Amino acid sequence: MIETLSPDRWIQEKTRYSSTAIASPDYKAAEQTFVNLLENDSLDQQIKQNPEIVDDFEAALATALDTAYGNTVDAAASLFLQRILYRINRLNLFWFDDLQNYRNERSFYIQWVRDRIEDVWQAWENSQIDIEALRQISDINQALIDRAEADLEPPITESKRYIREEMSLEGYRWLLAIASLDGLVEASRMSRILGGASNEVHAMLIRVLMEEYGNGRYNKKHSTFYANMMAELGLNTKPEGYFDLAPWELLACVNHNFLLTERKRHFLRYNGGLTYFEIVGPSIYRDYMTAAQRLNLSDTAMGYWELHIREDERHGQWMVQQVALPLAEMYPENAWEIVLGYDQEKALGDRAGAAIVNIIRAAEQAGTVL
């Protein structure tokens, strides 16, 4: 029998790595070290026998955890942390790839790395929201309704105007490439919340998921429409094909959703966030569709946006009326968490959207072609 390290042993090991931070880590090399660790057979046993194999990675990790989130964000450290966290989280979903890629999906060490990153990062994310004010909301239902009504037609920002009026064809290709990290596996994380007892809320969530999945027809699945858009513009349609383009802000959105769906204690927060996502989606997709129409692109090159505008207008109302409000009634003491999830998803999305636009602008100015 292969012996694995227990959680208690990892607590003991924390002392070993507590002072390993280095001044200027090579985050790219540290990430590759982590990738190599994931490829070890029986990683926990390997570390027990040769603990020094994680020293270089742990040194970079310690520095990143110390410096990533303070009064300002250290972009390099945060990108490193979010990329590591993404590599761990994606093991929760099956990608029809080499089965050996999942050999360490239950490694105690991998779980420990994940938990340390999430503890530091989520503490910072929570500090960006006035949680105490949310706890004091007297009418949660009205708070949710007011937010939903405001976000159906958000104001035109500089970023939205740029996408609608200025973004070039190459910029549009960059947009599709960066957003493909989520678009090509859309709704996969949502599937993680659907097990368990059934009721009216559960049934509605299943209905939303089924529409996202094309009611079981591959050619109707939303991610298939996204792949078709990419193919029409000569882009690589392999999931994660443009992983290296993703800014830490986008990775944070993905990892935040992994956290909320993998921990059922955050069920209310997740559904609050999903409510915002479905409410605001059509307004964002109209921006992208307006850009595609201005660029005289084909129906295929904008089909995903048209589909989402039509379906998410329904999904948004379903989420408010048949998920968020019923959950607030079911959990009156914790209903504020639905609003927290809504507000955090909005903040994360706005931050990621701004970062993506900045990358596209920079690529256009530099004349960089994918």
pLDDT-based confidence at residue 308 (cuts at 50, 70, 90): confident
Among 1.20.910.10, 3.40.50.1700, 3.30.530.20, 3.40.50.1000, name the CATH number for the domain at 137-366: 1.20.910.10
Local structure of residue 73 (DSSP, 8 states): B
pLDDT tens per residue, range 98-137 = 999 999 999 999 999 999 999 999 999 999 999 999 999 9
pLDDT tens per residue, range 211-223 = 989 999 999 999 9
Q: Which amino acid is residue 342, in one-letter code? A: Y
Give this prediction's pTM: 0.93
Give CA–CA dist 53/145, Å, rounded: 52
pLDDT of residue 21: 62
Enumerate the domain spans of the chain. Answer: 7-127, 137-366
> Phi and psi of 69, rounded to 5°?
-125, 110
Comparing 16 with 42, the larger pLDDT belongs to 42
pLDDT-based confidence at residue 287 (cuts at 50, 70, 90): very high
Per-residue pLDDT for 316 more than 90? yes
For 11, the token pair is 């607590």
pLDDT-based confidence at residue 8 (cuts at 50, 70, 90): low
For 170, the token pair is 């190459």
- Cα R_g (the chain), whole angstroms: 21
Question: Which of helix, strand or coil describes residue 69?
Answer: strand
pLDDT tens per residue, range 220-266 = 999 999 999 999 999 999 999 999 999 999 999 999 999 999 999 99
Count CA within 13 A, CB hemisphere, residue 173: 15
Can you count the helices (H) and strands (E) in the chain? 17, 0
> Which residues, in sequence order, are bridge partners of residue 73?
69
Q: Tokens 């850009």: give the residue.
A: 291
What's the average model confidence in pLDDT over 20-24? 70
Q: ∠264-281-309 over CA atoms, to 5°?
A: 125
Is 81 in contact with 43 (CB distance < 8 Å)?
Answer: no
What share of the chain has pLDDT > 70, as a percent? 94
For 3, the token pair is 């012996």
What's the average model confidence in pLDDT over 24-44? 96
Enumerate the H helices of 197-295 as residue ranges.
200-212, 222-232, 248-262, 267-294
| CA-to-CA separations, 204 to 210, 261, 324, 352, 353, in angstroms, rounded | 10, 17, 11, 28, 28
